[in-house]
Structure 1
Amino acid sequence: MAALWVIVAMSVAGGVGAGCRFVLDGFVKARVRLAYPVGTTIINVTGSFLLGLVTGLALAHALPSEWRLILGTGFLGGYTTFSTASLETVRLAQEGRWRASALNAFGMLAGSLIAAALGLWLGGLTA
């Protein structure tokens, strides 16, 4: 079982991650005038990259397991948003914007997988 300080730090990090997501999404929405959810895509792709990096560093023993929990589960769990991406994909489909819906679903998935693999590879270079 994780120590109490790790659970508290994970919880705080989750709140900070959610706050960062809110600020970044608002920043992007204020500057990019598209009906496509660019902010959510940026958040999920960068979050996937960072989670890959954190995991790669942890697997290479360059990051303590407690920090993997705090950063990966806490911060990045709060920062990334699968549920919002899913809702936005459905909303685009309901509006009849099939291409945007498919791009949001499959493009974000592909981008996130590639970003996670790159982060995992980079994190593993420290081994």
Structure 2
Amino acid sequence: MTLLLVVVGAAVGAPLRYLADRAVQARHDTVFPWGTLTVNVAGSALLAFLAALPAQGAVMALAGTGFCGALTTYSTLGYETVRLLEEGARFHAVANAAASIVAGLGAASCGAALAQALA
């Protein structure tokens, strides 16, 4: 049953990641990967929120592991950062890595704080 919950969550999270990434990136005329940054930061906030809630189990399998796991994408972050370096956009590559780490950790802190405030 847990495996099925993870699969269902991932089946929703992966297409949402693609659609959100494309929607955000279409609004910016730059090589900086705003779409990936956006989904990773949002996913970090949501996962930390879920992890800080008292109820776990099925909710965490569906929404945490499945949905957030498919929504966020460390591999794309790595690929896009390397691509930026290869294209000579060194500033954008460094900014992408730094912003992803700082914003992701900040979003996770905010998500956890929100869950604790609501609990």
Do the structures match in fold with TM over 0.5? Answer: yes
Whole-Å Cα distance in 2 between the matches of residues 47 and 118 of structure 1? 12
Residue pairs, 1:1-127, within 5 angstroms: 4=1, 6-57=2-53, 61=54, 63-127=55-119
Residue deviations 1:4-55 (CA, integer Å, cap 9, x gap): 2x22121011011001001111111222211110000001001000011111
C-alpha displacement of 1:82: 0.3
Identity %: 36
Task: After superposing the two structures, state which structure 1 stretch, 97-106 or 24-33, moved more.
Answer: 24-33
Give the residue type in structure 2 aligned to 1:119: G
Gaps of 5+ in 2: none
Q: Distance in 2 between matches of 1:22 and 1:96?
A: 26
Amino acid in structure 1 at the alignment position of 2:78: S
CA distance, structure 2, for counterparts of residue 94 and residue 64 of structure 1: 42
What letter matches 2:47 in structure 1?
A: L
Runs of 4+ in 1 over 3 A off after TM superposition: none
- Give unpaired runs (5+ residues) of structure 1: none
- Superposition deviation, residue 73 in structure 1: 0.3
Q: What CA RMSD, in Å, does the superposition of the two structures yield over aligned residues?
A: 1.1
**TM, length-normalised to structure 1:** 0.88
Q: Secondary structure at the match of 1:34?
A: coil
Report which of the two structures shows the higher radius of gyration computed on alpha carbons: 1
